[in-house]
Amino acid sequence: SKSLSDEENLKLFGKCNNPNGHGHNYKGCSISLLVSLQIDPVSGMVLNLTDLKEYMQEAIMEPLDHKNLDKDVPYFAEVVSTTENVAVFIWENLQQLLPPGILYKVKVCETDQNVVVYKGEETILE
């Protein structure tokens, strides 16, 4: 965090505190959609999965895949790139693309033990 001293960063972030950055291979991101909306009687779907795949490509893969979050993603220039904030970033990007009311939650699995679920203003650590 740019707002903390080197000592404070080390105390707060431990081994993840590295002035040259550190990496993660996230276990995966799963996006859960609210399916209680009206199902289209012609398609039988709430949302076309081809469209969803394109939205996920634009909102998640293009800005984040194989990137140094702190250096390559403008959002993280001023926001600490914690798993919680990655979930918020994904939520905000998807909200801009998806029809209103479709997105239910974003789940980011950094490791088997570090999982964040973000539901708008509600964040849950699992």
- The better pLDDT of the pair 74, 12 is held by 74
Which residues does the annotation mark as catalytic?
16, 66, 110
Of the candidates 1, 65, 5, the one whose C-alpha atom is nearest the C-alpha of residue 29 is 65
β partners of residue 118: 106, 123
59 with 92: CB under 8 angstroms? no
Helix (H, G, I), strand (E, B) or coil at 37: coil
Residue 101, Ramachandran bin (φ over 0: left; ψ between -120 and 50: alpha; else beta): left
93 with 59: CB under 8 angstroms? yes
Highest mean pLDDT among 32-36, 73-77, 78-82, 115-119: 73-77
- What average pLDDT does the structure give for the chain? 80
Using the predicted structure, report yes or no on whether residue 107 has a pLDDT greater than 60.
yes
Can you give the residue ranges of every domain in the chain?
Answer: 24-118
H/E stretch holding 72 reads helix 69-72
DSSP state of 94: H
Quickly name the fold that domain 24-118 has.
Tetrahydropterin Synthase; Chain A (3.30.479)
5-57 per-position pLDDT tens digit: 777 767 766 766 666 666 666 655 555 555 556 788 898 888 888 998 899 89
